[in-house]
Structure 1
């Protein structure tokens, strides 16, 4: 009985123990697939803080969505540059990245719009865009700061189902509160709200870690299991005639000494006439099992294993179609989810009387957000692509499908490599180059 009690005290507090879906202690015994596990804010924080793989799943897509940022296309170049400069001052890229990270981690990401208006206002009032003077700051925060979502429940209203107010907790980390503002009602127009996973009967977004919880559990346990195999990989036995008469304290002291000498705890101390046999762990097939866990995690997170493990951002080797699909998905998220938030911020800047030289009607200004490319192939793949294109062009020229000038125009546009090397390659430089060419052509035409 004493031996059993001692063994219980030394049991590892395994990640899986006590977290079962059913009422057993083992998460993999008597599971109930239909039973949902809802994670508390503390559990989500713990999962994120203790597991670097979890951090990668949350952080990398948020970083990829904002890493290359975007190019603002607008006829008025001066106005465009002023808007981009203001976005840099507001640290908009960092704020949007954090909002996306919070959305993946907590289910809801927010950006507070710190604005100055011509008239006095309180946060419960809608943002008065006609009397907007300037946008002062952007602060990203998560749904942990939001106590309640006040929705429009009138099914005959045009805004049925939309959030009208958020009850924000403005308590500081030290516990101090602004008098009368412990829980402030904030109108939805004063926030940018990012939410992509919401169940039909709920108003809060779902954390990405909830549906990933079982797979993360198995991944954690597989890591521990591999560690145990490596831990006991070298097993030693010490035989001695004096072991029989040793007391428990003396055996512990001897074990400590031998552990120090052999640098391992995989040591057995037995008497000379005793026998101890170690059964070697059969590791055949363990790679397939670990690959299965990784495949499940990658599929559930909708991220390739190479990306989850930290492949260099934006680099793609040949035949990495899964990585290409991942970046295509990021592009879709940029278009469908981030574009509306960015367009709204730009509209607010145009409406601000003190920002861009006076208030500008956004409906009279044509602008377009073009997200910059997220990835490029590696040097070897790029060379192979160029070679295939060159061979294809040679075939077209030989068979009379295209002329040499047409191929040159298609591949190198109107400008030679010598001229291109004078410019850095961003959109502003190419526009400057185009203007110079147009001016020269116009002057030549007038003189001729």
Structure 2
């Protein structure tokens, strides 16, 4: 008798589940509905066009098409409109010097230009110009090598006209630009091809792309035109068709007796005379003219109906605005539609979008640029250096009054507690005039004559203590 095999729960052979492709889409073959059936919807396809690479089309549309220009310009202009405010503990004199540096170096203008070209071409850049660094552009920017007054602004160029990413990729995980090109090749106006380290380049891109598509665009993004192009074609064709229909607003119909017999005879001379007569009468027709008819002839006019066309046209306008992420009221200059509609909710959503783009696109640029401006102007970077973007929307008069009241009361309360002097309070009030328009008549003489007794920080002369340090050597020798 053979041995009996013992089986238990664990000794059973476990079968592996077979791999199968899931086919769980809806389909009705008899009705020709759903996936894989021969119908018009299933004939739809979305091929990759990579329209961004057609830079000549981008140039043509930006120069000649007003909607494309507004799509490219609106968001960058709103992002830079109210700029930003330094939040460090700096004296008003230091802030004024920094504002002067920004104006003379055209910082706001150049960043706005970079944002526009990044949206139009999918990518653009600005090379930071520092006097004395002409021969070391391929080296990493060292703050200690930035001498006073050597920041000279930026030179903006787009991806097609002078700035090409190199093949080397940043591998330092601690670098904010990790995964991006380490070097760029900058074609100057003199024809030189200069290698520039990424720490000296400000990047501006359009729409973000997945990795494979980003590689296809040489680490740049997609143009905004590519996103709206299909919707733009629908809107433009609809507009042109409506314009052509205007010529059919009044249809004139001439009924002629025996016209069929005349054409059937085949007498070419009679046909020519008929044509010339009708053409001459058509040329001479006016509001004050006459039309000569035979006894059995008739003349009628028919009005063409345009009802419904405006709704169709506005639907395409909404599609363009949605693709561009800009409200219709801002993009097309239209008044808000709907009963009791003010457009405030649309603009609030739009301002939220602007604030999000400021954080994701503009802040990385300023994080690289602002410390350079501080080193050039003051020779040091404050430990508490920070900034915030000013509100995009303009407050109403009531909101502005509340803001002024709260800020003024705060300044007065701090002064009454003995924490600030009268001079400091006047400086704060005049600084507030930049954002509120109030207290603009406080003069330098008023500030100079104000009491300056209360000063817990122990002021040094302004020229040596603009950054708030107790000694000049403190911010020169401290590690930054």
TM bin (shorter chain): 0.5 to 0.7
Cα offsets for 1:224-283 (capped at 9, x unmatched): 1111222211233467899975777995897588458559xxxxx999989999886553
1:128 is displaced (CA, Å) by 3.8
Q: Distance in 1 between matches of 2:159 and 2:293?
A: 59
Q: Distance in 2 between matches of 1:138 and 1:42?
A: 26
Give the equivalent residue in structure 2 for 1:396.
none
Within a 5 Å distance, the mapping from 1:399-438 to structure 2 comes to 413=409, 425-426=433-434
Within a 5 Å distance, the mapping from 1:132-143 to structure 2 comes to 132-133=146-147, 134-143=150-159
Across the aligned residues of Structure 1 and Structure 2, the Cα RMSD in angstroms comes to 4.6
1:430 is displaced (CA, Å) by 7.1
Within a 5 Å distance, the mapping from 1:329-340 to structure 2 comes to 329-340=353-364
Give the equivalent residue in structure 2 for 1:42.
56
Query: Which of 236, 240, 243 in structure 2 is aligned with 1:220?
Result: 236
Query: Which of 166, 181, 189 in structure 1 is aligned with 2:199?
Result: 189
* Structure with bigger gyration radius: 2
Give the alignment's TM-score, normalised by structure 1: 0.67
Give the equivalent residue in structure 2 for 1:366.
384
Q: Distance in 1 between matches of 2:62 and 2:258?
A: 51
| Count of matched residue pairs | 367
| Structure 1 residue 162 corresponds to structure 2 residue 180 | yes
| Structure 1 residue 85 corresponds to structure 2 residue 100 | yes
Residue segments in structure 1 that go unaligned for 5+ positions in a row: 1-27, 264-268, 390-407, 444-448
Give the equivalent residue in structure 2 for 1:236.
252
Q: Distance in 2 between matches of 1:305 and 1:216?
A: 14
The question of whether the paired residues in 2 share the 8 Å contact of 1:242 and 1:271 is answered with no
Q: Distance in 1 between matches of 2:281 and 2:106?
A: 58
| Structure 1 residue 292 corresponds to structure 2 residue 307 | no
- The structure 1 segments of at least 4 consecutive aligned residues displaced by more than 4 Å after TM superposition are 28-32, 153-160, 237-257, 259-263, 269-282, 408-412, 427-433, 438-443
SS at match of 2:354: helix
Q: Distance in 2 between matches of 1:158 and 1:41?
A: 35
Give the equivalent residue in structure 1 for 2:34.
none
The question of whether the paired residues in 2 share the 8 Å contact of 1:239 and 1:270 is answered with no
| Structure 1 residue 304 corresponds to structure 2 residue 327 | yes
SS at match of 1:370: strand
Within a 5 Å distance, the mapping from 1:377-416 to structure 2 comes to 413=409
Give the alignment's TM-score, normalised by structure 2: 0.63
SS at match of 2:137: coil
1:130 is displaced (CA, Å) by 2.2
